[in-house]
Structure 1
Amino acid sequence: MNSSIFQILPTLEPFDYSQHFEGQFKDKEWVLINGINDKKVTYIFKPNNVLKIVDSGTTIKTTWSFINSNFLSIQSEDGIQLVKIYYKGQDMMVMNQRGSDDYVMFVNQTNYDEDLETEEDLRRFLHKKYVQRASELIKKHQFYYIQNSEEFGPFTVEELNIKVQKDELSHHCFVRDINEDDYSSRLRIRDLLREI
């Protein structure tokens, strides 16, 4: 995976040992996404600098160590690799080998009920995690709507939905996010309702 990962995931957060080690790093089952259809590889960073790599059912124990900032060293078959780690929320981790433009991506399977074995499993995982989360955010967010050249609001999506169901409001009405200045996004109530 090349450096375009930063265009795909622009909000990557650098690994910070004091913030991430206990809750997001240690003892988590990080499934390697690159090549998941060929074989499943899981990395588990254990205390005392032990790294368990489970590769198609075979467990390899090696070592890792914290260097500085967000750099780690990982002992592999090819020798010691220095990697920089980034996060996208608590569910995705990206590693970049020092001096390389290539990236590997991992998904945290620890709290997921199903095994991640294929790209289809991965799609379901991402859909469940991010589409549901986005839906919850949309439900809580507030919007203004415009009707007969007059603006009303702000209202939550649920409040707008009630107005539509009572025929007080058309689902074709334009809405704007409370953080937007105008209706140039051309978003309609029906678009919001589709997302929840």
Structure 2
Amino acid sequence: MKTYFSDLIPRLQKYSRKLDDLTLLTDQHWVLIDGLGNSKNVFIFKKDNTLLLSKNGNVIKGNWEYLGNNSLLIDLDESYLYKHGFFDENILALKVDSKKEYTFLVNENKFEGELNNLESIFKFLEEKYLRKSPGEKESTIGRVLDDSDIPKNHKKIEKRLSDGNILTIYSTSEKTDDFNIGDRVSINGRIPKDGNYHYGWTGGITVQNGKIRW
């Protein structure tokens, strides 16, 4: 698979999902960015570790395996070992083991839209995760929470939002299934945008700067 050098991908590490997020990886149509306008290669990682590669409609079967330690083994005609580069719901960048080069795949929904070449991918990633106005602090929205963000002796309260995403409250309250203003929250493990979030029939919270405001 064609690879590309990039000094952008290492700067995006703190915004990336991990390769063990198999729900996001599997049963999606990932289109390979190979620079060939007359060829479309689509990878489908099945939950049973079957790998389907569609080359302009002709399907080849192989295997894939998550090896732990953010490593992915792809076995088609040959076996390839990749490390984690960058991963979100739109883009999968796999680092060639022992090299500073990446293979890029794009979710087909985005590939059919604006993300169908390397330049558009880099522009999209910079604007979404890195670009900020002069004097503006780098946004934490979308960043994965790490241990330093989460208070000690907290308890997790998980709620399913109306859009199907999982809201997690890192509660400091002593009461069961209760929380305090100022408690940290995440959606699918990431700091959410400011706003109102609703769950169940009547439940809801207001979030500001990644914490419960009301």
TM bin, normalised by shorter chain, reads 0.5 to 0.7
Please tell me the residue identity of whatever aligns with 2:47.
P
Whether 1:73 aligns to 2:32 is no
Q: Name the SS of the counterpart of 1:73 in structure 2.
A: strand
Alignment of 1:86-165 (within 5 A): 86-110=85-109, 112=110, 114=112, 119=117, 123=120
The residue number in structure 1 matching 2:12 is 11
Please tell me the residue identity of whatever aligns with 1:177.
E
Q: Which sits farther off after the overlay, 37-46 or 97-106?
A: 97-106
Whether 1:31 aligns to 2:31 is yes
Distance 1:113 1:35 in 2: 13
The residue number in structure 2 matching 1:82 is 81
Query: What displacement does 1:114 show?
Result: 3.4
Identity %: 19
Query: What displacement does 1:16 show?
Result: 3.7
Distance 2:91 2:115 in 1: 16
The residue number in structure 2 matching 1:54 is 54
The residue number in structure 1 matching 2:22 is 21
Q: Where in structure 1 are there 5+ consecutive unaligned residues?
A: 144-174, 180-196
Q: TM-score, normalised by structure 2?
A: 0.49
Please tell me the residue identity of whatever aligns with 1:21.
L
Q: Where in structure 2 are there 5+ consecutive unaligned residues?
A: 139-214
Please tell me the residue identity of whatever aligns with 1:94.
A
Distance 1:113 1:94 in 2: 14
Change (3 A) 1:14 1:98: farther
Confirm or deny: 8 A CA contact 2:32 2:105 kept in the other structure: yes
Query: What displacement does 1:80 show?
Result: 1.8
The residue number in structure 2 matching 1:188 is none
Change (3 A) 1:61 1:8: same
Query: What displacement does 1:118 show?
Result: 5.5
**Higher Cα Rg: structure 1 or 2?**
1
Q: Name the SS of the counterpart of 2:48 in structure 1.
A: helix
Distance 1:104 1:69 in 2: 18
Query: What displacement does 1:84 show?
Result: 1.2
Change (3 A) 1:106 1:52: same
Query: What displacement does 1:100 show?
Result: 3.3
Query: What displacement does 1:38 show?
Result: 4.0
Distance 1:129 1:101 in 2: 18
The residue number in structure 1 matching 2:136 is 177
Query: What displacement does 1:33 show?
Result: 0.9
> Cα RMSD over matched residues?
3.5
Q: TM-score, normalised by structure 1?
A: 0.53
Distance 2:115 2:37 in 1: 7
Confirm or deny: 8 A CA contact 1:14 1:86 kept in the other structure: no
Query: What displacement does 1:25 show?
Result: 0.2
